[in-house]
Amino acid sequence: MKRDPLLWAALAAVLVVLASAEYELAVACGFGTYVAAGVPAALDVYALAALRARRDVLAVVLTLIAVNAASHLVEVGLLPVSVPLVVAVSAVAPLVLWRVHRLSEVRPAAPEVTEPVTVERVEDDQPEPVALVARPLPEVVPASARMLPVVARPEPVEVATSVPAETGRQVVTEVVTLTPAELRRKASKLHREAVRSTNRPVTIKTLQDELSLSRREATELRREIVGDRS
């Protein structure tokens, strides 16, 4: 119950007013002076228990109305004290005991009802991802690799007949791996051509230019080629 002073004051006033009528009805039905006070006390306890439990509130209100009305009717002589009235007033105490006991019981909490969750599956038309396979890395270029100029073919260009056009040559540098055996073979070929054309061995300068070698490398290669030939 809320801790409101006005609410408690109103409740106390109502119970006092009702207790007076309930006491007079119990005395009229044959209860003793002290025992009759138990009837309003029992009804007051029942009313407080119902308000606290928030159950049987309507039944308590109807009971209090009936007892209060019957008391005033007996007091003014409009309702005679009969057997049914005495039985009804006598049953107040046992009925209050039963209801207060029921109200004191703690009701189990109702289980929460959860609605089933429906999951819709959306069909995806996208293809499944393709696993990428790592390609093996190329081998490391050996120390004997040399870079030789490679001349790329010019792409055809449409030119008007009245205007002469010149197509330039595009030089692309590409790494070409030459093994020592290939270097010796190319150097031997250059040596043979030099001997055939000039009747002299190949020069160091020719080896440098044709095979992109340093002077020291060209000198050692010429020494091997010319020495083998001699």
Q: Report how far apart the first and last C-alpha atoms of the chain are (Å, whole number).
A: 125
Report the range of poorest mean pLDDT among 42-46, 69-73, 105-109: 105-109
**Do residues 24 and 75 lie in contact, with contact meaning Cβ atoms separated by under 8 Å?**
yes
Angle CA(15)–CA(18)–CA(24) in degrees, nearest 5? 135
Report the range of poorest mean pLDDT among 99-108, 130-139, 221-230: 130-139
* Residue 163: band (very low, low, confident or very high) from pLDDT cuts 50, 70, 90: very low
pTM (2 d.p.): 0.42
Query: Percent of the chain scored above 90 by pLDDT?
Result: 1
pLDDT (0 to 100) of residue 167 = 57
pLDDT (0 to 100) of residue 108 = 61
Mean pLDDT value of segment 121-147: 62
Instruction: Output 133 or 57, whichever has higher pLDDT.
Output: 57
Instruction: Give residue limits of the domains in the chain.
Output: 5-104, 146-151+171-229
Report CA Rg, the chain.
61
CA-wise closest residue to 46 among 4, 101, 105? 101
104: left (phi over 0), alpha (psi -120 to 50) or beta: alpha
Mean pLDDT value of segment 156-167: 54
* Residue 173: band (very low, low, confident or very high) from pLDDT cuts 50, 70, 90: low
Q: Give the Cβ contact number of residue 144 at 10 Å.
A: 13
Q: What is the largest CA-CA distance in the chain?
A: 164
The pLDDT tens digits of the residues spanning 206-222 come to 888 888 888 888 898 88
What mean pLDDT value characterizes the chain? 76
Mean pLDDT value of segment 111-133: 63
Q: Give the Cβ contact number of residue 217 at 10 Å.
A: 17
pLDDT (0 to 100) of residue 176 = 60
